[in-house]
Structure 1
Amino acid sequence: MLDKRMKFIQVSFVVMDVLLTVATFRLALVLRNLIKGDTTSFSTEYWIMLAAVAVLWPISIMLFNVYGLGSNSRKKEKLSLTAILPKLIVAVCFAFLVCTTSLYLAKTQVISRAFLMVFFVTNLGVLLMANFVYKMSLRKLLKRTSFYRRIIVAGSPDKVKKLVKYLNKNNELFIDIIGTVHLNGYEDLSSKPKLGEFEDLPELIIKHSADDVVVTIPYEHLKEIEPYIHRCEAMGITIHLVMDVYDMKIAKTGVSSIGVIPTLTWASVSLDPWQIVAKRLIDILGGLIGLILTGVLSIFIVPAILLDSPGGVLFRQVRVGKNGRNFYIYKFRTMCNNAEALKKKLMDKNEMDDMMFKMKDDPRVTRVGKFLRKTSLDELPQFWNVLTGDMSLVGTRPPTLDEVEKYDLHHWRRLSVKPGISGMWQVSGRNEITDFEDVVKLDVQYIDSWSIWLDFSIIFKTIHAIVKRSGR
């Protein structure tokens, strides 16, 4: 949810400040020794003070509501530098005052006064500089990741205008407003382009690869737009409603907010920022390990492919990723060069329904390709897709463009998460599954029950299946 993403940013600022404070504490002792020309050691008293600082600084930051996490955070959520820096200075000064007062009352003579002054100046300077750099670079960094949310604002013109104005002023929400959608017959009053009418909403979501829809509308029109809300729900799109409640069949309903605006939100995908970050870190680590493994095995795989049949080593194809974003997927080539042209002649032998193509003993597969597929070695280059963020280690199967063109709305829901190298379908005996609706059910089951532990379970099952050479 958008408010959870905001909370994640706020907490990350606090964590950054605490880590930098601990680092400058140690640095201050080094600088003090250089200034004084002696070698004061990091004794037990300094360790005790460091522990106190690590606790006192975040408390002070919370107390003065520096990043909108205090008791009055609903009124002071802005993360602009003009709002942060004055409160940060006050918070650091207060924490330092409490710290020095405690040392005075304890009558300790071990902690150097010169050290305290160096620590205060260094800490304040580093925190101010870090916040400036972090705030300036955060928007650019996050815009390159899936953390940034692409949203469509829908509703009546007057309410849409007010909401768009608020969202434009609060850029710390890290959202990108694609455009607006209105009730029939209303003209656009906002600064964003009008994309269409409510009945066009599902098509507009697909066309613009939207992540969220924010609906703000008068009470009397709620029943009128309810069918479109349910269609968005069926697609797995997160919906934020500024008022009233709908009886959703799939999505989890929760009260949240976009900045200070309260909304009722239905999300059929887990949006907990901490779990998303953990999943991404696991993907990065797995991607790096996978690419190292790919590099080693390429010494044997590349010559085998080249000697077996004419053509390149890698197969590149456009696939459809999260919420309709297109990307190039990479695999080791396992088919002959004219595989796509031959596919049209083989459609009558398709073992799946019309939504996917799968054929046992596919004549397009080369001799080396059969071995690579049997051992899943053909998928090793996809670790690059994982590292770049287009895919995850675990997710749903990445469909082709022609498959997505045949989708009904409820099929679109399987695209509400990143596609994965492995997933529920791959570890559930995919050779025995010939009905596309069963594939969708497995993907939806993964989405509804997703957790980090489920990902680990699928990874271990995938490794076991590869070792046994099953499921291909």
Structure 2
Amino acid sequence: MYKKANLGWLKHWDFMILDLICLQVAFISAYFIRHGVHLAYENKLYRNMAFVLFLIQVCVTFFGESFKNVLKRGYYKEFTTTFKHVCQIILIAVFYLFATQTGEGYSRITLVLTGIIYMVISYIARILWKKYLKTKGVVGKGNRSLLIITSEEMMDIVIDNIRNNNYEGFQIIGISLLDADRVGETINDVPVVATLDNVEEYVCREWVDEVFLNLPKEIPLPRDLINHFIEMGITVHLKLIEMAKLEGEVQRVERLGSYTVLTSSINMASWKQAFYKRAMDIAGGLIGCIITGILYLIVAPCIYIKSPGPIFFSQVRVGKNGKRFKLYKFRSMYMDAEKRKKELMAQNRVKDGMMFKLDHDPRIIGGDKGIGGFIRKYSIDEFPQFWNVLKGDMSLVGTRPPTIDEWDKYELHHRVRLAIKPGITGMWQVSGRSDITDFEEVVRLDKEYITNWSLGLDMKIVMRTVGVVFGKSGAM
């Protein structure tokens, strides 16, 4: 979300699995050395200890961030990190044996040998696996888009540098040259997409997660441009030597390729916060999909009888940072609803057509008091979006995803709404969505949510959403 910190073990699950194997191999090897050629798991005490070591390893990995930036670490840094990781596991294991009073029956030599062997093979395994990933070109295959802004002189060097050290897994979607107009050309398989004059418009209209600026000394740093990007919710990476006073709410020093950069964004979630939010989304998505299945058995016949056709309605929406996805709903309108939208645009309650809201929309199946009006009144039509949440296109809490025609009307400052994943519910939805017709107020509330985001705020909005839905039911 916004700019997320690295997801640690979650992002590098392959390293975690490899490390789990190394620990068990070390445990078995230490048992062989101390007790001879016998299977360690045949002994109840040692079998239980093997499981305890597994749990300790998972906890240390999770809370200790053992694999954060693992691909960026050199030999010495990897050695010190591995040593720290192993020491934590062995010390916790010693405490466990002491606390459970099982230490007398467990060989201290076996425990020490486990730590030593684990340290050696885990370090070697990490180094070899990183080399394998780089050799096979696995590094750099991700789902975050990066726009490079540089000069004509530096473009080849910057592209090669990012590609060869793409530990963050960026997709380089384009390059913008500030001192030349070569739009339409391709440089090292990367398209030139914008110049200084139109790069803001490009970022506003296309899927851009993050921007990296690397400029020569003779080109002045475009501070206004950078601040506009941050205002739009884009994460900006600036080579540290070019460090300037920017307007980002959160700033931190990171590595991008081989460059040391100052990263600025409107907000930044830690990997633990991102994990908890995604875990909440998965749990909510699963429950929501089960409820959707139950509702389908009741709602589908009613919809089909009143308006024969598909039960579900799908529409392309614009998601996080301009990435498009297909959103699902129960169909609450007649089949020609999209065609009739243009005819009804004059009655739109939201000025400038930035959103579309009507009183007594004639396209609703059966009108406000029919089946279409019922499922819209109680937000039943929204339940299939839990599938979007489960897929990762949306979150339980976020901002409303605009349609493509709405997105095309956005001004630069409106783009901040999509600095995060869109949500089924959000700040403005629980602030009287039926009463708010000023789109600027919607943007203000969404920006307030993004800037002040926390897991507690998400929970508060979810509870208020439940209150709003059941409040409608109580008023029936």
**Alignment-derived partner of residue 373 in structure 1:** 376
How far has the Cα of 1:108 moved from its partner? 6.9
Which runs of no fewer than 5 residues in structure 1 stay unpaired? 70-75
Question: CA-to-partner distance for each residue in 1:258-315, whole Å, 9 max, x for gaps?
Answer: 2552222220132433322221221111111110111122111111111222221011
- SS of 1:282 mapped into structure 2: helix
Distance in 2 separating the partners of 1:442 and 1:53? 43
Q: Kindly, what percent of the aligned residue pairs are identical?
A: 32
Give yes or no for contact 1:28–1:122 (8 Å, CA) kept in 2: no
- 1:119-134 maps to which residues of 2 (within 5 A)? none
Give yes or no for contact 1:153–1:181 (8 Å, CA) kept in 2: yes
How far has the Cα of 1:387 moved from its partner? 0.9
Question: CA-to-partner distance for each residue in 1:169-198, whole Å, 9 max, x for gaps?
Answer: 113231222222112337799633322312
How far has the Cα of 1:227 moved from its partner? 3.4
- SS of 1:173 mapped into structure 2: coil
**Alignment-derived partner of residue 456 in structure 1:** 459
Distance in 2 separating the partners of 1:313 and 1:68? 46
Q: Does 1:228 find its partner at 2:228?
A: no
**Alignment-derived partner of residue 416 in structure 1:** 419
How far has the Cα of 1:431 moved from its partner? 0.9
Give yes or no for contact 1:89–1:124 (8 Å, CA) kept in 2: no
Q: Does 1:444 find its partner at 2:442?
A: no
Distance in 1 separating the partners of 2:460 and 2:195? 44
Distance in 2 separating the partners of 1:116 and 1:261? 40
In the alignment, residue 232 of structure 1 is paired with which amino acid?
A: F
**Alignment-derived partner of residue 314 in structure 1:** 312
TM-score (norm 1): 0.78
How far has the Cα of 1:29 moved from its partner? 9.9
Q: Does 1:364 find its partner at 2:367?
A: no
- TM-aligned CA distance change 1:173 to 1:182, over 3 Å: same
Distance in 1 separating the partners of 2:106 and 2:423? 57
How far has the Cα of 1:255 moved from its partner? 3.3
- 1:275-354 maps to which residues of 2 (within 5 A)? 275-353=273-351, 354=353
Give yes or no for contact 2:382–2:424 (8 Å, CA) kept in 1: yes
How far has the Cα of 1:6 moved from its partner? 7.8
Q: Aligned to 2:409, which of 394, 401, 406?
A: 406
Q: Which has the higher contact order (CA 8 A, sep 6+)?
A: 2
Aligned length: 447
- 1:60-71 maps to which residues of 2 (within 5 A)? none
In the alignment, residue 235 of structure 1 is paired with which amino acid?
A: M
RMSD of aligned residue pairs (Cα, Å)? 4.7
- TM-aligned CA distance change 1:22 to 1:298, over 3 Å: farther
- SS of 1:396 mapped into structure 2: coil
Using the TM superposition, name which of 44-53 and 194-203 deviates more: 44-53
- 1:147-186 maps to which residues of 2 (within 5 A)? 148-185=143-180
How far has the Cα of 1:368 moved from its partner? 0.7
Which runs of no fewer than 5 residues in structure 2 stay unpaired? 95-102
Distance in 1 separating the partners of 2:55 and 2:272? 26
**Alignment-derived partner of residue 193 in structure 2:** 195
**Alignment-derived partner of residue 6 in structure 2:** 5
Q: Aligned to 2:429, which of 415, 418, 426?
A: 426
Using the TM superposition, name which of 329-338 and 29-38 deviates more: 29-38
Q: Aligned to 1:393, which of 365, 385, 396?
A: 396
In the alignment, residue 282 of structure 2 is paired with which amino acid?
A: I
- TM-aligned CA distance change 1:389 to 1:10, over 3 Å: closer
Give yes or no for contact 1:33–1:39 (8 Å, CA) kept in 2: no
- TM-aligned CA distance change 1:174 to 1:38, over 3 Å: closer
- TM-aligned CA distance change 1:257 to 1:67, over 3 Å: closer
**Alignment-derived partner of residue 73 in structure 1:** none
Q: Aligned to 1:111, which of 91, 107, 110?
A: 107
TM-score (norm 2): 0.77
How far has the Cα of 1:209 moved from its partner? 0.9
In the alignment, residue 241 of structure 1 is paired with which amino acid?
A: L
Distance in 1 separating the partners of 2:148 and 2:301? 53
- SS of 1:35 mapped into structure 2: coil
**Alignment-derived partner of residue 97 in structure 2:** none
